[in-house]
Structure 1
């Protein structure tokens, strides 16, 4: 039994972290099972680059079906150069191989936005575990980073640095490599947002006015092999953005898992020339729950080192988001959220650290990590 499952009077439940709130889902089998997905669909994205609006609408229909029924899909033939992805993975592996003291120079507890390095077991989305068995590095929108070419004068709330970059000579390769990836993913995400708008029968650029200077993150992650079923790479959760693009390293045994309506974990394997796309809390919000912000987790049980590079794409920090009129039901109560406020609230919950035995800024890890 995994660490996220509990039994009550012969009923089994899966626990998870959804929108900053803990919940659980009963595992349904046999006659009790509901119609639901058992695999993540694959969608050919080449039509996203077509000059023909009908081609893009045809793509949007497929995307919309996946968002309503699964909340995840493979974006096949996405058009981002494979060399960029290969080079970024190489840089990510090289960064995580650096000595701990080099990485800890940019420990994420030094910034309000939790940017920088996160050590093993510091995150803990599943309270029944000892912590998330991963290490990571987070960067995102920052008007003081010249690579982003953002207008600081128009974004006074971004006038102070948000990102942290290691200064040690052995680590200077990391910033340019991550920015090459960041730029490519940002460009693709803007196109994809238009496809989501079309899938909702909206004008293609409907969301552009609240995504002029989007909140964005690249989170490079290293998952070592798990040797205990009680561990988890990252606990079951939903994402808090418009959507997430995940580029995962090739492993023989899938580590990413998606929770279906029956409480069954569906594996999401590495697929060549593909991103894994999942919609997140803000698209669930604007559709009144019609689109699924699907619970997922990582359990790296295959004995291999695993690396992942999710890109998170959100509305503007000062935007306000509420349900679209066509998805509001008569008599329903709908909240309007300030994007930046909601985002920071989730960050605080999701990045809460458990630095037991920390001494002198150094995190004591479990044996072998």
Structure 2
């Protein structure tokens, strides 16, 4: 009697575009060509007055966006002292008593802005929750630091979106975050023009879509993980245009990106760099040509089996809330129809998914801390 041997495949599970997905782990003869490291790109040319220099940079950035979806932005030009001061403020904020942080609990805000407790996020349903705490702020036409005027077509822009702590021990936090926010916004506008060149478009192609962009800073604290079963944040893609990540020094990398073979590739802390990743909107407008790559955080040291205190400050950049986007003409296939998306509506749909994944069956936030 003939016998057959069935191969049991291993899969990596994640959220892609807000939808659960999985990727088979490929090894040996099944493995395909893919990346095994995140490239470093020298960004000094972003400030060059010469188009040829900026185009050369765009060519390198475009290759990374197509093949990987992640790259290190080396020599980004943002003052290191400002970054150090922001990290100091973030650490100081998360060390505050819980009752001070809970003044701005994100469940009080429509846009999910403010403080998020440990284990309140849960992108990976197989875990007890995301082992992190965070603080989210973003575009707010009522915050004077942003010098924005309400948009007549969006009445809601005149309402406060951010929450800021008012306790005397926490007043340092808002100005520190805004110093970082404004520096990252300025750099992001330059980077957006490099992306346009990389797509063979005029440098200013996206300018009309980003006159009042949707933006966020999420300050995050990842404590050491006591168990390999824990995860700092579950595997996911970002729902914005692109993300810039400034991460604190740790001995072992915690950020990991998923390659085409279902293998997790570490993204170490590198001095004087940001980690840049393409997100869902740029994947959308390029017809999937640019990669919105799955990533996660696992704060575990290979040496000790226990991670270190880790802090991260991702900056998320998106088009205007009322902008409409679709696949660029050069990426369209003849005879195929393409939908147009209103940025704010899509963003809110994704936010609602993220917001409900961490609620228990009774709709109440779990208050457990690891």
Corresponding residue number in structure 1 for 2:336:
332
Corresponding residue number in structure 2 for 1:107:
105
Deviation at 1:256, TM superposition (A): 0.2
Judging changes above 3 Å, is the alpha-carbon distance between structure 1 residues 104 and 350 closer, same or farther for their aligned structure 2 residues? same
SS in 2 for 1:175: helix
What pairs up with 1:309-320 in 2 under 5 angstroms? 309-320=313-324
Question: Alpha-carbon deviations, 1:111-158, whole Å to 9, x = none?
Answer: 110000000000110011111000000000000000000012645331
Corresponding residue number in structure 2 for 1:364:
367
4+ residue segments displaced more than 6 Å = none
SS in 1 for 2:230: coil
Is residue 72 of structure 1 aligned with residue 64 of structure 2?
no
How many Å separate the matches in 2 of 1:351 and 1:306? 23
Deviation at 1:356, TM superposition (A): 5.5
Q: Is the 8 A contact 1:11 1:26 kept in 2?
A: yes
Choose the corresponding residue for 2:354, options 344, 350, 353: 350
Q: Is the 8 A contact 2:42 2:74 kept in 1?
A: yes
**How much is the aligned-residue C-alpha RMSD, in angstroms?**
1.7
SS in 2 for 1:157: helix
- The TM-score, its normalising length taken from structure 1, stands at 0.94
Question: Alpha-carbon deviations, 1:264-320, whole Å to 9, x = none?
Answer: 000000000000000101110110000000000000002200000000000000001
How many Å separate the matches in 2 of 1:183 and 1:352? 30
Choose the corresponding residue for 2:24, options 23, 26, 34: 26
SS in 2 for 1:24: strand
Judging changes above 3 Å, is the alpha-carbon distance between structure 1 residues 324 and 153 closer, same or farther for their aligned structure 2 residues? closer
Is residue 255 of structure 1 aligned with residue 239 of structure 2?
no
Question: Alpha-carbon deviations, 1:188-227, whole Å to 9, x = none?
Answer: 0000000000000000000011111000000000000111
Judging changes above 3 Å, is the alpha-carbon distance between structure 1 residues 25 and 357 closer, same or farther for their aligned structure 2 residues? closer
Deviation at 1:231, TM superposition (A): 0.8
Judging changes above 3 Å, is the alpha-carbon distance between structure 1 residues 357 and 117 closer, same or farther for their aligned structure 2 residues? farther
Choose the corresponding residue for 2:36, options 31, 35, 38: 38
Q: Is the 8 A contact 1:278 1:293 kept in 2?
A: yes
Deviation at 1:352, TM superposition (A): 2.3
Question: Alpha-carbon deviations, 1:38-83, whole Å to 9, x = none?
Answer: 0000000000000000000000000000000000000000000001
Out of 190-199 and 332-341, give the one that drifted further: 332-341
Q: Is the 8 A contact 1:40 1:268 kept in 2?
A: yes
- The TM-score, its normalising length taken from structure 2, stands at 0.94
What pairs up with 1:202-281 in 2 under 5 angstroms? 202-281=201-280
Count of aligned pairs between the two proteins: 359
Q: Is the 8 A contact 2:58 2:198 kept in 1?
A: yes
How many Å separate the matches in 1 of 2:283 and 2:367? 38
Q: Is the 8 A contact 1:114 1:138 kept in 2?
A: yes
Question: Alpha-carbon deviations, 1:158-177, whole Å to 9, x = none?
Answer: 10000000111000000000
How many Å separate the matches in 2 of 1:258 and 1:153? 37
How many Å separate the matches in 1 of 2:32 and 2:13? 18
How many Å separate the matches in 1 of 2:147 and 2:155? 15
How many Å separate the matches in 2 of 1:75 and 1:310? 13
Question: Alpha-carbon deviations, 1:241-280, whole Å to 9, x = none?
Answer: 1100000000010000000000000000000000000010
How many Å separate the matches in 2 of 1:58 and 1:183? 27
Unpaired segments of 5 or more residues in structure 1? 1-7
